[in-house]
Amino acid sequence: MTATEDLFTPVHKGLRSMLYDLSARLQTNDFADVAATGALLVQLENDFAVARSTGCALCTMSHHAHAEESVVFPPAAAAANSLVTQLILEHHDLTRRELAIAQAGHELVRLDQADRRIAAGVRLNQAANQLLCAYLAHMDREEAELVPLMGEHFTNEQMVSMRDAIIRSMPPEVLFAFLNWMLPSLNVNELSDLLASVRLTAPPPVFKAISDLCTAKVEPSRWAATRSRVGI
């Protein structure tokens, strides 16, 4: 069996872009500026119980871990139980880090003095950098170790049905929050394959919504090349 579908790499590209963006904004933020700091920390909203905030980086990471654990890991565990067990433990570690950062953000905005907010901002940056390191290493492990195993043990059809199950499990606004980061993060080959597949399988309004999102978010020459390849 030599399946070529990859359930992890495209969405991880989007998550990397999201994390790089968050990191860039965190490390340049003036924590003395209450308004700018408040706006930035909205991205770190920690309402995991609801986890519906589409602009929320931590919520998006939580959704991703949940999708992997509920749809992909159970069948994958039959082929690679030890690896999947370790990946779940890594999810728990990442969640602890995400919650600690969200909590630190809430405490930071309650500080009255600018110099104390600046000092807390330094610590917040350090914690976010450590999360970034751990998160990048985790995604790399999924791609380097789990993707090849999935290719050996599952057919393309099985993996496409797992992807469909993930998509069906997400409220539309959450799905589009992922696509908002993923679409501009793909190269022209990946984007063309995705758009061609969506055109064949999704209802026309969904295809139009995704195409409109590409127009808004994908670098214009890459989107033009994709449209030419797909014939749209």
One-letter amino acid of 231: G
| String of DSSP letters for 71-95 | IIHHHHHHH-HHHHHHHHHHHHHHH
Least separation, in Å, of the C-beta of 115 and Fe ion?
Answer: 38
Structure tokens at 82: 């030890």
In 10 A of CB 75, how many CB atoms? 15
SS3 209: helix
Least separation, in Å, of the C-beta of 10 and Fe ion?
Answer: 11
E strand or H helix at 16, and its extent? Answer: helix 9-28
Q: Which is nearer to Fe ion, 40 or 94 (CB)?
A: 94
One-letter amino acid of 3: A
Least separation, in Å, of the C-beta of 196 and Fe ion?
Answer: 24
| Terminal C-alpha separation, the chain | 33
Q: Which stretch binds Fe ion (CB under 5 A): 39-47, 125-133, 141-149, 209-217?
A: 141-149
In angstroms, the Cα distances linking 231 to 61, 184, 193, 199 are 34, 19, 12, 11
Q: Which is nearer to Fe ion, 37 or 185 (CB)?
A: 185
Site string for Fe ion, 55-74 (x = CB under 5 A): -------------x------
Least separation, in Å, of the C-beta of 60 and Fe ion?
Answer: 11
Q: Which is nearer to Fe ion, 76 or 120 (CB)?
A: 76
Least separation, in Å, of the C-beta of 130 and Fe ion?
Answer: 17
Q: How far apart are CA 31 and CA 35, in angstroms?
A: 9
Q: Would you say 105 and 41 are in contact if contact means Cβ atoms under 8 Å apart?
A: yes
Least separation, in Å, of the C-beta of 146 and Fe ion?
Answer: 9
Site string for Fe ion, 202-231 (x = CB under 5 A): ------------------------------
Q: How many residues bind Fe ion (CB under 5 A)?
A: 2
Q: Which is nearer to Fe ion, 91 or 117 (CB)?
A: 91
- Binding residues among 166-205 for Fe ion as defined by CB under 5 A: none
In angstroms, the Cα distances linking 179 to 9, 10, 176, 189, 191 are 13, 10, 5, 16, 11
Q: Which stretch binds Fe ion (CB under 5 A): 107-115, 134-142, 185-193, 195-203?
A: 134-142
Q: Which is nearer to Fe ion, 18 or 120 (CB)?
A: 18
Binding residues for Fe ion, per CB under 5 A?
Answer: 68, 142
